[in-house]
Amino acid sequence: MEIGKEIKQAKFKSEHQKMLINILYTSSWLSSKHGASLKPYGISQQQYNIMRILRGQHPKPATVNLLIERMLDKNSNASRLVEKLRIKKLVERAVCSEDRRAVNVIITKKGLDLLTELDQNEDLFLINLKKLSAEEAEQINLLLDKMRD
């Protein structure tokens, strides 16, 4: 649905303002859909993000600082998220042998298995995004990258 109809606003100051509102609204909409798809698995979007980073590092461990650098949500408390994942036995923590102030984090087999299951169900989450062709998705990616430059 067109953003003006979605939020019941007929006029915008400019196309740029309309674009900003559209991006913010769509971001919130996507976040809500993604959060709902993860809820049955008992993990948050931020926890999912950490697990994906750790899977990319696997079998090497990652420091909490590396997780912070690579997280999508820079305002998240990575240490607290790692602890919640540790309690669920999805990750393990260990003091870094090279730097005793650092903590190494590694994903467990249980964590890898959960991500495999989530990967198989990812198409359910992407169903609305698949309304766009691969070329349209590429164009949106290029435009969003350009906007952040």
- 6 within a domain of the structure (yes/no): no
Mean pLDDT value across the chain: 90
- 73 within a domain of the structure (yes/no): yes
Please tell me the total count of domains within the chain.
1
Q: Which of 59, 55, 86 shows the shortest CA–CA distance to 70? A: 55
Cα first-last separation, the chain: 29
**Across the beta sheet with 62-63, what order do the strands follow?**
62-63, 103-107, 91-95
As a whole number of angstroms, the distance between CA 119 and CA 103 comes to 28
Q: List pLDDT tens digits, range 46-84.
A: 999 999 999 999 999 999 889 999 998 887 899 899 999
pLDDT of residue 125 exceeding 80:
no
Q: What DSSP string runs through 49-102?
A: HHHHHHHHHTTS-EEHHHHHHH-S-TTS-HHHHHHHHHHTTSEEEEE-SS-TTS
- 7 within a domain of the structure (yes/no): no
Range of the structural domain that residue 90 is part of:
15-148
Domain of 101: which CATH number?
1.10.10.10
pLDDT of residue 94: 84
- 133 within a domain of the structure (yes/no): yes
As a whole number of angstroms, the distance between CA 142 and CA 61 comes to 32
Quick one: average pLDDT of 81-95?
94
- 3 within a domain of the structure (yes/no): no
pLDDT of residue 95 exceeding 80:
no
- 10 within a domain of the structure (yes/no): no
